Structure 1
Amino acid sequence: MSDLAATPDTSATEARAELLAFAGRPAVADPRPDLIGLERDALAAALAEIGLPKFRAGQIWHWLYHRGVTDFQAMTTLAKPLRGRLAETFRISRPAVVTRQDSVDGTIKWLLRFADGNEAEAVFIPEEDRGTLCVSSQVGCTLTCSFCHTGTQRLVRNLTPAEIVGQVLVALDHLGGYPTSQPDRRLTNIVLMGMGEPLYNFDGVASALRIVMDGEGIALSKRRITLSTSGVVPMMARCGAELGVNLAISLHATTDAVRDELVPINRKWPISELLDACRSYPGLNNARRITFEYVMLAGVNDAPEDARRLVALIDGIPAKINLIPFNPWPGSNYVCSDDDTIERFAQVVLKAGYASPVRTPRGRDILAACGQLKSESARLNRREARAAAAE
């Protein structure tokens, strides 16, 4: 748990005051511009400002993302005077690791603190054929999905490209991921399924993913990246056209009445509009299917008629359906469907011709499973901020 969290004998006001005091410090104590998070052209432009030719950007990019260095002095292909000049002018950032938690099943969760004191979580999930990093796009979330722990935390702010890429770099640091070209690399996939709604931070997410996908750096193919959205319909086509990554939809219901309660963004863009946007997603075909995520909630959305409605709704969409057993969190009001109910649901979907794997919960013992992520960062309203500052 973050050391900004309230302890049993610390009042909520004192905890807020502590957070405000921390966040009120200079966001960047080091005034040097950060090279992490700059796309190639921006990196070249930053170097040009100190008189360096464009080819230097490629060399430095290699050291930052292929080799993962955090010290300019480690860039041994550069002359020592140049390394010293770079160190005087720029910095190489990483989010601070507040805590690392290791699950009994091998899942790893990092609580990461950024320069302004805000925090987010990232999770690495090892499997036999891949290693997937679940990345956050915001501190908190604006969507308030009723079954999701992150949804109980108010949106604080969007993450910057440097902070999003930084999550990947921290994971690579811990997993021995450099050089990134090693054939047995542990981190092979990324999912934007952590804290926040990625399509409400599209520019930051897109910039970060372009860095991650660059073949001379972290070098993860767009086919190995999945962006999950709760249904920000106007941004979906842009995501497919500009990034070409895999798309996952947090569907979770087959009627607007139920989805309005589970995923409130449905009141703005109901199921019919969401599925129309899915059908027109750029590049959609049988080899590049949309994943529909469906959390199994006892007595809420798990009846056989729900399964039949689901396959009727997605008819004609190249798709697979991930059935997700509900992962409990403190204060949650839902119960996971039992195994027999999930199996009956899966069989209806399977007989309709759709793959319907049941996602094995991972990292439940460290609250790292789907829907369990949350940090202690808090957005204070004006009255709270004034009260905290007066303490």
Structure 2
Amino acid sequence: MRLLLILLLLVSFVSCQQKAVHARRLGASSQVIKTLSTRASPDTRPPVRGCAGQSPFIICLKDSADHSSIVVLTSIFINRIEWDTPKGAEVDLYLRQQWEDSRLSYDVDPREDLDEITLPDSTEIWVPDTFITTGREKEVDESRRRIIVEPTGHVRSSEERVVMITPSTSSSSPFSPTRTLTIRISSYKYPLEDVVYLWANSPPLVSPVEVSSSLLEGPLQFEHAVAGDCVGNYTTGSYSCIDVVVTFKASFWNSFGRFFLPTTLLIIFSFLHMWLHPSWSVPRSFSAVIPFTIFALIFLFHSPKPHESCWLIFCLLLTFLSLLEYFIILCCGVRRETRLPNYTEDAAHKAQQVTNAIGDATNTSCTAARSPVDSIGRVLFPLVFIIGIILFAFLF
């Protein structure tokens, strides 16, 4: 009983100690935030303490520190992408930036264990006014933003951005197209003399571009990202500029099974009427008309991707030619006439004569023309289809 009581007292004491430490830490944090809010000047660029060599986040472009620029280390985390929107790809990303602001440095008792301070949204500090030049930023109702300040004045910022970017599509294979997004970053307000952007690149811990796990799987998967400076590291007006080209590649089996395999089967289906007997008019009509109708509807009510458009045009033309071939055969068959002579003999002899007459009608010149047309189509259409696949594979 005494042992249990002692344990309860120890647990209560430790809990009270933890609460006291937490309360003291909150108090110290609140005091630091209050102090920083009085020092912060949102409209004034932070002063530079010195030139390169004294801080990894400061670079001097001239001998005097008055003309030096603050380096903003930048990285991007892509959270989500909606590709097929009316205005392009909708990219939901987090813009992560680091810079040094000596006005936000603070001293704190080591016993408080305050390695960093998270500023509330109401506290305004200087930011490099970064924007993405290759897209149109979309307003977000509840934008997520987090700013952390270390005792040395080192600032880490993470801000959610939703940007509409027009992707470019290319393909080394018709069954595995790629899409690329170019994200170019610059400062809207501060020229090169004030701000210089650099990609945060310290592998394997820090990478210029990271993506969520959802973009590593699915129809379009993240392949690689190439980060660098813009041409000359300037934009109009001598503003610092960096960019990154992010490439996504479609899964081979997803693209093949979802698009190319169904269209190939429709093409083969459109050729079947050339092998059917002329008397099977309904199956021949279905084989010739249905594939062309499906491809025409796809063109009318669907916006295909660039690499898919060329393939669909080829399929549409091929099924139309197949339908035209059937139409020629059909028109030829309409002109056929079956004339039966007058019979005066018994029923059995009449039936035999009717059978012979139908056979003679079937062998008319117009019907006989069907066989050469279908024979040519059986060779020509599959050959054109195979050549089209080969050209599409090499050209697109």
What TM-score results when the alignment is normalised by the length of structure 2?
0.21
Q: Which structure has the higher relative contact order (CA within 8 Å, separation 6+)?
A: 1
Instruction: Return the index of the structure with the highest Cα Rg.
Output: 2
Give the number of the structure whose residues are more often strand, by fraction.
2
